[in-house]
Structure 1
Amino acid sequence: MSRTLDPAPPAPPRPSTPTTAVYRRRRIVAVGALALILGLLIGGGVYTSSALGAPVPAAAPTIDDPTPVVAEAQAVVQPGFGTWAVGAVGFDGLMAAGGEDTPMPMASIAKVITALVVLEEHPIPEGEGGPDIAYTEADIDIYWDMVAQNGSVAPVVAGSTLSLKESLEAMMLPSGNNYSISLANWAFGSVDAYVERATAWLDEHGLGETRVVDTSGLSLDDVSTAADLVRLGQLALENPTLAEIVATQSVAIPELGTLENSNRLLGTHGVDGIKTGTTDDAANLLFSADLAVGATSVTLVGVVLGGDTHPIVREAVAGLIDSIAPGFHEVVALEAGRPLAAYATPWGDTAEAETAEGATVVVWSDTPVDVAVEADAVRLVGDGEEVGTATVTAGSQVIEVPLVLDGTLEDPGAWWRLSNPGALDEGVVADAPVGD
């Protein structure tokens, strides 16, 4: 019997030998992966160092510019005659005027110039009477000469001695023409020498439309404009001695008796000066008046020239003052702590720039009150640091108020820096809304 043998099982496949191309590909992948790892390690370190040390972008402010405040124009009761003007100490220009550039005889208002020029030559320390002046028969002759010319006079006694302040009171209060001449002779040696100095003084103070030919204003050639006289009145109030004298209703001088101020409006409507003036044809008044405005006060300086009589001029001046006074008003331009700019950073910090203090101004009529805000673009800023300025402008008044930060803009930290590489390249970030 024969046997049939089973076929032998197939041999396992023989592993193939890798080709050169396969080895090359594997080497490239391995080297590439290694290079990538090394690049991440090396490059990442450089980026990390750069990101952590780079400045953050500046935050730009969103600015809130307040709307200008403008009141209604104030109506003024005008004299209806002559020329006139009204200004105020500390305010540019004139509140109101009519014919203010027309030269007019100023009469005894010229004595204000005499007083200021003499006081410039011989200033009187505050609280003192100044040098003594001896009066002689020559001064008696001056007195009678003024009487003959129908000029106003004040009594004088030969052999008496008065202080300079007392002599000025005798010139200003009863408008003594004789004392204006005696003072000029004492201070400058002669009336002509005084006129020369007074002319130079007028030029020095920008009173180019004012002319003096004597000490008293008796001549019709002593002329000025209402605009110039407002400035003259302001100069008078700047001199403490003269300001005190023109506000005095009466004074008792032993050698002379009681001298009354010729300004009958003194003490009414806030009037505290300055000088009357009378020609053969007209009455004038250079006046000052203090007005209460809110927590402060305003000093008006004005003049009315060319009235028929002093009562008519006084009525016109009272009307001017009473109608101008309500036109002054106090405006709270900024409150302390008011936010005027806001900041926001990409990493979530917010802060506001607010006023460090308030600002209040007194304005006339429809003078606008404007606030201009300037705030800096900032990066890392602490609470309370100054970041800008708010400038309040009202006519010639300018007040600057610092803006300080309410809040803090801090460094965002490493995680935000590493995860926001693009933001570090920006110069200024977007605006933010201003809070209430």
Structure 2
Amino acid sequence: MTVTAATQRARRPHPLVVMLRILIALVLVGVVALGAAVLLAPTPVVAATPVTPDVEPLPEPSIDWPTTARAAGYGVVGIDGGADSWATTGSDEAHPMASVTKLVTVLVVLEARPIEGDDRGETITLDDDDVRALTRAIAENAPVAPVRSGMQVTQRDLIEWSLVDSAGNAVWSLANWAFGDIDAFLAAADDWAARHGFEHTDLDDPAGLEAGSVSSADDLTRIALMAVEDPVVLSTIQLESVRIPGIGFAPNTNRLLGQHDIDGGKTGTLKVWGRNLFVTAIREVDGVERRVVGIVMGTIAADETDAAMVQLLESVWPNFGSRTILAEDTVVAEYRAPWGATTDAVTTGALEAHVFADHAPGWTSTTEPIEAGSTGTAVGEVRLDAGEVAAPVRTTGMLLAPDVWWRVTNAPQVLGWYWS
């Protein structure tokens, strides 16, 4: 065939056909590239979602409350850094504190005039007001520490005479010195009670000689917990006796001191009300020393008061014990991937704690994100909020990777993984 210009033009593809072929080629390349991008997109790591497990409830406290008291309470000093716990029974109203008021007075004074370590505190020169306080205490038939105008004593002297011998004039002198006069002290005591949430505690005098110096069993139990956490107060109420000039050694008024692991406390008696008693005891339970406090209010005879306190405290100790907070294989988190694959995170050991009844510390879990395809992986731990007790956490099975069909049908989401 003869090749001419006309035949060459007849055999050349139309430009639109060329463009269409190019477009189809580009689309095919794009589809292949897009498909490859979808199939090869890196699978993202999956974060854990915490799970609140169903756990076996711990037993509630079992307390043998004394029936001879109008009100009573116990408190447990916080375990392993946890919060203090307490409970009361009987009347929840405010009642005369009697000489337990002196404990409140000392706490108020120490907050304003703290003593560090074994220091005796400031030196105080007594005057005629202190002698008049002595005269009043004698008239009220209260225990006293003989004083004279010009006599010099230390702050800790007055605290010891007030809490060990329950000298009414000593605590009056302490409050008067710390705040300038008794009215200022009473205002400070009101402020102290309000700041600490003691709604039923009100002082009419520093010594508890007035029936208007009142508190409730709930307030006094919490005040007792504050007292044993103050090293000056605790060391003072633990003294078996105290030396008072002009008298010699006066014994601690707490008759239970040294019995039933009781190592401190404060007594109080008022004719119009009866007897109150605060004690604190320390006992080794499962190899760990634990401290508790007890409050008994409104008993009549001293023997009855002591028996009520012993009954109360001896029923508190059995509530301490080692408990399982989280059992082994407890699910604490879940991994749920966007493509539907799931696996759980479980404890690989039990989380144990020494607790008081059902007052167990809380716990938190920390878990790492995991990749698809991982199985039986250590991912974190659970740890008590207070203390160093922890247990490892692992996944229970493989977190399956997304299949091809899911990738293709969720292409926009998969492509977003490149930028996540």
Say whether residues 1:170 and 2:161 are aligned partners.
Answer: yes
Equivalent of 1:422 in 406, 410, 415? 406
What per-residue deviation string (whole Å, max 9, x for no partner) do you get for residues 267-305 of structure 1? 222223221001125111022222433343432222111
Cα distance in 2 between the residues matched to 1:195 and 1:61: 54
Q: Which residue of 2 aligns with 1:18?
A: none
Tell me, yes or no, if the aligned pair for 2:48 and 2:369 is still in contact at 8 Å: yes
Cα distance in 2 between the residues matched to 1:196 and 1:369: 37
Cα distance in 2 between the residues matched to 1:75 and 1:242: 27
What per-residue deviation string (whole Å, max 9, x for no partner) do you get for residues 140-186 of structure 1? 44323311221111233555432211221011100000101211222
Say whether residues 1:55 and 2:43 are aligned partners.
Answer: yes
Say whether residues 1:309 and 2:301 are aligned partners.
Answer: yes
Say whether residues 1:318 and 2:302 are aligned partners.
Answer: no
Tell me, yes or no, if the aligned pair for 1:156 and 1:256 is still in contact at 8 Å: no
Q: Which residue of 1 aligns with 2:266?
A: 275
Tell me, yes or no, if the aligned pair for 1:157 and 1:255 is still in contact at 8 Å: no
Q: Which residue of 1 aligns with 2:7?
A: none
1:321 Cα deviation after fit:
0.5
Stretch of structure 1 that moved more, 265-274 or 300-309: 265-274
Tell me, yes or no, if the aligned pair for 1:85 and 1:303 is still in contact at 8 Å: yes
Equivalent of 1:126 in 96, 111, 117? 117
Alignment of 1:231-242 (within 5 A): 231-242=222-233
Number of equivalences:
387
Say whether residues 1:290 and 2:273 are aligned partners.
Answer: no
The one-letter code of the counterpart of 2:121 is G
Stretch of structure 1 that moved more, 193-202 or 171-180: 193-202
Consecutive unaligned residues of structure 1, counting only runs of 5 or more, are: 1-34, 429-436
Query: What secondary structure does 1:186 align onto?
Result: helix
Tell me, yes or no, if the aligned pair for 2:325 and 2:360 is still in contact at 8 Å: no
Alignment of 1:10-49 (within 5 A): 43-49=31-37
Cα distance in 2 between the residues matched to 1:136 and 1:62: 67
Tell me, yes or no, if the aligned pair for 2:72 and 2:297 is still in contact at 8 Å: yes
Say whether residues 1:79 and 2:67 are aligned partners.
Answer: yes
Tell me, yes or no, if the aligned pair for 1:71 and 1:367 is still in contact at 8 Å: no
Change (3 A) 1:229 1:328: same
Q: Which residue of 1 aligns with 2:105?
A: 114
Tell me, yes or no, if the aligned pair for 1:151 and 1:177 is still in contact at 8 Å: yes
Alignment of 1:160-239 (within 5 A): 160-239=151-230
The one-letter code of the counterpart of 1:239 is D
Change (3 A) 1:234 1:70: closer
The one-letter code of the counterpart of 1:301 is V
Change (3 A) 1:38 1:118: closer
Tell me, yes or no, if the aligned pair for 1:109 and 1:286 is still in contact at 8 Å: yes
Query: What secondary structure does 1:85 align onto?
Result: strand
Tell me, yes or no, if the aligned pair for 1:59 and 1:379 is still in contact at 8 Å: no
The one-letter code of the counterpart of 1:126 is G
Query: What secondary structure does 1:94 align onto?
Result: strand
Query: What secondary structure does 1:102 align onto?
Result: coil
Stretch of structure 1 that moved more, 144-153 or 331-340: 331-340
Cα distance in 1 between the residues matched to 2:284 and 2:400: 52
Change (3 A) 1:116 1:421: same
Stretch of structure 1 that moved more, 148-157 or 67-76: 67-76
Tell me, yes or no, if the aligned pair for 2:373 and 2:400 is still in contact at 8 Å: no
What per-residue deviation string (whole Å, max 9, x for no partner) do you get for residues 105-147 of structure 1? 1100110121112212211111211111223565344323311
Q: Which residue of 1 aligns with 2:241?
A: 250
Cα distance in 2 between the residues matched to 1:332 and 1:408: 25
Stretch of structure 1 that moved more, 156-165 or 189-198: 156-165
Query: What secondary structure does 1:274 align onto?
Result: strand
Cα distance in 1 between the residues matched to 2:209 and 2:163: 14
Query: What secondary structure does 1:70 align onto?
Result: coil
Identity of aligned residues (%): 29
Q: Which residue of 1 aligns with 2:143?
A: 152
Cα distance in 2 between the residues matched to 1:80 and 1:250: 29
The one-letter code of the counterpart of 1:171 is S
Tell me, yes or no, if the aligned pair for 2:85 and 2:359 is still in contact at 8 Å: no
Tell me, yes or no, if the aligned pair for 2:343 and 2:395 is still in contact at 8 Å: yes
Tell me, yes or no, if the aligned pair for 1:289 and 1:299 is still in contact at 8 Å: yes
Cα distance in 1 between the residues matched to 2:233 and 2:352: 31
Q: Which residue of 1 aligns with 2:17?
A: none
Stretch of structure 1 that moved more, 69-78 or 295-304: 69-78
Cα distance in 1 between the residues matched to 2:331 and 2:252: 54
Consecutive unaligned residues of structure 2, counting only runs of 5 or more, are: 1-22, 415-420
Structure showing greater radius of gyration is 1
TM-score computed with the length of structure 1 as normaliser: 0.72
Tell me, yes or no, if the aligned pair for 1:68 and 1:370 is still in contact at 8 Å: no
